[in-house]
Amino acid sequence: MAKTIQAIRGMNDCLPTQTPLWQKVESTIERVVSAYGYNEIRMPIVEMTPLFKRAIGDVTDVVEKEMYTFEDRNGDSLSLRPEGTASCVRAGIENGLFYNQEQRLWYMGPMFRHERPQKGRYRQFHQVGVEVFGLQGPDVDAELIMMTARLWKELGIDQHVRLELNSIGSLEARHNYRQALIAYLEPHIDVLDDDCKRRLHTNPMRILDSKNPDVQAILGDVPALADYLDDESKAHFAGLCEMLDNAGIAYTVNQRLVRGLDYYNRTVFEWITESLGAQGTVCGGGRYDGLVEQLGGKATPAVGFAMGLERLVLLMEELQLTEVRRRVDAYVVTMGEGSMMAGLQLAEQLRDQIPTMRVMNHFGGGNFKKQFKRADAVGAAFALVLAETEITEGKVTIKDLRGGEQQTLSTAEAIEWLQAQM
C-alpha cells in the first residue's frame, strides 16, 4: 500500500461530524453582526510581506517568529495572513473606502501563524473580525463590546467569559511611558529572560505580560501606564467605562493588558475564559487610530476586534452546548416496482413546497429494516414510505421515527402535514 500523507501539524480538518456546530457558530455570528448593520468584506489570504511588517510591527512575536513567508515565482516576498486587520486596512485604502465615509465591516476566514500547536492554538485557525473606520468616539468601542456580549449570550457562553479592558493612550503617552519603563527595568536586567532582554529597548511593554514568574516578581512597583495617559485618552476611557456600566456589561480594568500587536492605541480589550486552559482568550481587539495613515491612507480613526472560532467551538463543546439542528428531517424509504422514481419525485416536490425541509432519499436497495436503520442513523425525524399500495393509491405513509406512530395520507395532505411540523 502506498504511504499516506498527513495534514500539516497544527492545521486541522473540520470533519462532517464537526461542521454542524461550526456552522451554528458562524451563522449566529453572521446574524448578530448583521443586526448592527455591519457589512462583510473578503480579502485575499496572501499579501505582500511588508504589509504585515509595517502594520503589526517588526518586533512582535507574530512578525518575528510566526509568519509563513515565502518568495513567489516573481521573487516577491509574500506571507499567509496572520490576522485580518492589516489586509482590511490595505483593502480599504486601495479601494477608496475611507474617503469621507464610515465603514462598519466584518470578515471571516483562515489565518496562519507558525506557533507551537496545543489545545486552542493552531497554525491554521479561523477568525471572525469586525472593524469600524471613520469614528473616533468611545460610543463605537462600547457598541463593539456590546455586540460581543450579545453574541456570547446567543451562543450560551456568556457566564463563562469575562471582559478585561485597558487604555494604552496616545502614541506620545506611550513613548513617555516606555522611557519610564525602561528606566525601571534596566536595574533588573539580570532577572530578565532572553526574550525580555531583547524587548527591553524595542518593545518593553510586552515585558508586562511575560509569563515568566521571575519577571512577574519584579513588576510589583512598575510604573503604571494609567499615570502617563494623555487627557484625551483618559476622557475616552472614562466615556467607554460609563457606557459599559450603563449597558450592564461587567469588566475589569487590567493595567497590564497591552496586546501583542503594535498598532493599538487607547482602548484595548480581551474576552477570556477559564475553561480552556492556557489559550483562554477567545476575542481581542482595540483602537488603532494611526494605522490607516501609517499604511499610506488619509488619517482615519479605527477600532475592531477578532475572535478565534476554534476557541469558541472548543468552549461550546466543553460546556456541552453541541445541540445543532438535525441534518435530515425526512428520509424517503421505497419498496417495489417504480417506487424509486416516485421517491425522487416526492423529495423534489417537498423541496419545492417546503424550502426549509431537509429530505434525503435512500439509495442502494435493501429491505425495510435496513432502510429504517439508515433513517435512524442519519437522525431523521420522519420516514416517508412509498411501497406498492402507496404508489397505486397516490399516497405516502409517514412514520414518526421518535414516537413510532404512522399514518397514510394523500401526497397533498402529507405535504401539508409535514409543513406544519417544520
Task: For residue 307, state whether it binds ligand HAM (rule: CB under 6 A).
Answer: yes
Cβ atoms of 312 and 323 closer than 8 Å? no
Task: For residue 282, state whether it binds ligand HAM (rule: CB under 6 A).
Answer: yes
Could you say which of 26, 30, 64, 115 contacts ligand HAM (CB under 6 A)? Answer: 115
Could you say which of 129, 134, 297, 343 contacts ligand HAM (CB under 6 A)? Answer: 129
Cα torsion 111, 114, 119, 125 to 10°: value is 10
Task: For residue 215, state whether it binds ligand HAM (rule: CB under 6 A).
Answer: no
Cβ atoms of 382 and 401 closer than 8 Å? yes
Summary count for the chain: helices (H), strands (E)? 15, 16
Instruction: Please state the closest distance from residue 37 (CB atom) to ligand HAM, in A.
Output: 18
Nearer to ligand HAM, 85 or 339 (CB): 85
CB-count exposure of residue 142 (10 Å: 0-12, 13-18, 19+): buried
Torsion sign (Cα): 144, 148, 150, 154: positive
Report the DSSP pairing between strands 124-133 and 103-112: antiparallel
Cβ atoms of 284 and 306 closer than 8 Å? yes
Task: For residue 310, state whether it binds ligand HAM (rule: CB under 6 A).
Answer: yes
Nearer to ligand HAM, 195 or 413 (CB): 195
Instruction: Please state the closest distance from residue 130 (CB atom) to ligand HAM, in A.
Output: 7
Instruction: Please state the closest distance from residue 97 (CB atom) to ligand HAM, in A.
Output: 15
Instruction: Please state the closest distance from residue 270 (CB atom) to ligand HAM, in A.
Output: 7
Instruction: Please state the closest distance from residue 337 (CB atom) to ligand HAM, in A.
Output: 56
Rounded Cα gap, residues 330 and 403, in angstroms: 14
Total residues at interface with ligand HAM (CB under 6 A): 27
Could you say which of 169, 204, 304, 343 contacts ligand HAM (CB under 6 A)? Answer: 304
Task: For residue 84, state whether it binds ligand HAM (rule: CB under 6 A).
Answer: yes
Instruction: Please state the closest distance from residue 56 (CB atom) to ligand HAM, in A.
Output: 8
Instruction: Please state the closest distance from residue 63 (CB atom) to ligand HAM, in A.
Output: 12
Could you say which of 125, 228, 237, 269 contacts ligand HAM (CB under 6 A)? Answer: 125
Task: For residue 113, state whether it binds ligand HAM (rule: CB under 6 A).
Answer: yes
Rounded Cα gap, residues 184 and 191, in angstroms: 13
Task: For residue 311, state whether it binds ligand HAM (rule: CB under 6 A).
Answer: yes
Contacts 24+ apart (CB under 8 A), 407-415: 411/346, 411/349, 414/384, 415/349, 415/350, 415/353, 415/354
Residue at shortest CB range from ligand HAM: 308
Nearer to ligand HAM, 138 or 285 (CB): 285
Site for ligand HAM in 245-264 (CB under 6 A): 260-261
CA proximity to 313, closest of 24, 10, 17, 16 = 24
Task: For residue 166, state whether it binds ligand HAM (rule: CB under 6 A).
Answer: no
Task: For residue 67, state whether it binds ligand HAM (rule: CB under 6 A).
Answer: no
3-class secondary structure, 335 = coil
Quick one: residue 394, left, alpha or beta (phi over 0 = left, psi -120 to 50 = alpha)? left
Kindly report the backbone phi and psi dihedral angles of residue 160, in degrees, each rounded to the nearest multiple of 5, phi listed first.
-120, 10
Task: For residue 284, state whether it binds ligand HAM (rule: CB under 6 A).
Answer: yes
Query: Could you list the residues that contact ligand HAM (CB under 6 A)?
Result: 83-85, 113, 115, 121-122, 125, 127, 129, 131, 260-261, 281-286, 288, 304-308, 310-311
